[in-house]
Structure formats: structure tokens, C-alpha cells
Amino acid sequence: MTTLRIDPPTGFVTIVTGLPRSGTSMVMQMLAAGGLPVHSDGARPVDEDNPRGYYEHEAVKRLAADARWLAEAGGSAVKIVAPLVVHLPAGVPCRAILVRRDLDEVLQSQQKMIARAGTTGAAIAPDRLKGVFAQQLARAASFLSQRPDTRLLELEHRALLQTPAEAALAIQTLLGVPLDVAAMAAVVDAGLYRCRKQA
């Protein structure tokens, strides 16, 4: 296994993870509003699905093969999709935020995104895909909870939207750094919660 060291003063890396369409971009936006630098290259433009940006970095896609770029991410937040987060190398202190969203809502949101883009989604039945997503989340949560030098916070998407101030405070407590909690809560827009499961 590759070992990568991040030494002071850069400190730990803040990892935001979850499934696509689960609210990870929103958490990245909260962190940016709170004053934490975000490791993003802006290569993916805003669109109707994420009108406030994706906060992604192309290097994340190569995490399994090359994690050297993480040395530049110390002290900042980086978004890593759940299936890739298990490739985090040893020796990188992390604070991880795992966002969970109802899997039916995730599927619905992804299907709408695919339809708008005019592309073809995965050739997997929804029920089977839901099972795959559940396994990916479970694996990511297990990996992060057992990983040395890592502290994990799990957030529920719906609760984050309903009580953003509580989520912002929980994030600040996890990171242990001064953040503008009020600004973090203020950027959460419940109007963007467009694919929701009916109670």
C-alpha cells in the first residue's frame, strides 16, 4: 500500500464523501462559505443539476493509481466519491464527512441528470443498482471508521437541509478549526431539494 505523509503546518485533509447526487457538493459549498479552502480545479462547470458548482478536482479520479496530489490538499477540503475513498493512502491524517441520502432519491436524481444530459445510464436494474450503492456506502463508512488518524462524521442529507445550523456546528466540532458557522448554514438552499421521497 502506498504511504503518503502530510506534515505540519498543512495538517489533515478534510474529505467530503458520499454517492453522486447525495449532497456532497452542498457540504463543500458550506465549508468554502465557512472559510475552509477547497481543493477544486473548477474544470466541471455549473449546470442545472448543480447550479452552485460541483467542487471537484480531476486528480481525484486517479486516486487509486496516484495519490501524490493529496500532499497539496493538506488544510483544505476535497470531494472524493464513496467508491474511491477506500483508496486513500496510509499516512494522511483525515477528517471525513460522509453524506447519506435516501437511495431512492439518489436514483431519481441521477436518472433526471442523465435524462437532461441526453446520455445513457448504467445498464443495471434500479433494484440491483440500489444494492450496489448500499454496498459502496457501507464499505466507505467501514474503511473510514477503521482508518488510523481519521475522524468520521456522518450526515443525513434531509436533516442537513432541515437543520443546517446543527450540521454546520457538527462539522466545525469535527474539524476543530474556527469556521463561520452562520455563513455555512446560510448557503444551504432547501429549494434545491428537488428529488425527494414522499413520506
Cα(33)–Cα(185) distance, rounded to whole angstroms? 9
Cα(42)–Cα(59) distance, rounded to whole angstroms? 12
Cα(197)–Cα(199) distance, rounded to whole angstroms? 6
Please report, to the nearest 10 degrees, the dihedral formed by the alpha carbons of residues 180, 144, 190, 41 taken in order.
Answer: 70
Nearest to 167 by CA among 16, 10, 11, 12: 16
H/E element holding 28? helix 24-34
149: left (phi over 0), alpha (psi -120 to 50) or beta: left
Per-residue pLDDT tens, the chain, 199 aa: give them. 455 554 443 479 999 999 988 899 999 999 999 999 999 887 766 666 666 667 888 999 999 999 988 888 889 999 999 999 999 999 889 999 999 999 989 888 777 766 555 555 555 777 888 999 999 999 999 999 999 999 999 999 999 999 999 999 999 999 998 899 999 999 998 765 554 555 4
Domains of the chain with bracketed CATH: 13-188 (3.40.50.300)
**How many angstroms separate the first and last alpha carbons of the chain?**
45
| Beta carbons of 179 and 34 less than 8 angstroms apart | yes
pLDDT at 116: 58
Cα(57)–Cα(55) distance, rounded to whole angstroms? 7
Query: What are the two backbone dihedrals, phi and then psi, of residue 75, each rounded to the nearest 5 degrees?
Result: 80, 0
Q: Cell 466519491 identifies what position?
A: 81
pLDDT at 19: 94
